[in-house]
Copies of this chain bind each other. A is one copy, B any other.
């Protein structure tokens, strides 16, 4: 790789970094191309040598995020697999795939293999799913914020948000369908239940993790524990003799 190409890659990285920084601070919609180039220490015109526009930049950031999430997930799953506890390893492994799909909207390739054998009614597995999704959201907050703002800014009737919700919860839906096939009673159509859970997770994540000053003051663990308890047994609480996850 020549110096020229290296310099170009450097500029592209600088633009991406600046974009992530600004997306977290001002949001995607309020960040102008000029803001990004200024923050990256480049000229406005240079932007268009790397990206066709703001939307293309966002897609590039999304690709980066998915790639990095894959790595994090894989190592997390591996770490869990070295554990003595089979159930935990199993949960972490599958939770990873699901959660990434859930938070990012991908991983259809692994879905089929891993759908079977899951049990979202197991407190540990459900908690692990939610925890991974929550932390992916937190670790990639700038891009998640940008993606959410972008899909909320689209014309309502385009159905963008519903599509996004379905994409993000593909794996979760598979797990639910699997659960239903094995005879477990579900609250409703797996598509709907999965979308509802995705809606809760993404909007609550956005609200809690971006609040900054006016921070609600909930720790990651408290949020994950609460969502686990709520989604596992609802408001009525666990049946008298059950060993719950809360």
Residues on A lying within 8 angstroms of B by beta carbon are: 24-27, 29-30, 120-121, 126, 145, 148-149, 152-159, 161-163, 165, 176, 179, 184-189, 191-193, 195-197, 199-200, 202-204, 206-208, 210-216, 218, 222-223, 225-240, 242, 246
Cα-based distance from A162 to B195 in the complex (angstroms): 21
Q: When the two chains form their complex, are residues A191 and B162 in contact, meaning their CB atoms are under 8 A apart?
A: no
What is the predominant secondary structure among interface residues of chain A facing chain B?
helix
Cα-based distance from A218 to B165 in the complex (angstroms): 15
Q: When the two chains form their complex, are residues B226 and A235 in contact, meaning their CB atoms are under 8 A apart?
A: no
18 contacts across the A-B interface (CB closer than 8 A): A26-B156, A27-B154, A152-B152, A157-B210, A159-B211, A162-B210, A162-B216, A176-B235, A184-B237, A186-B235, A187-B229, A187-B237, A188-B230, A189-B222, A192-B216, A193-B226, A193-B235, A234-B234
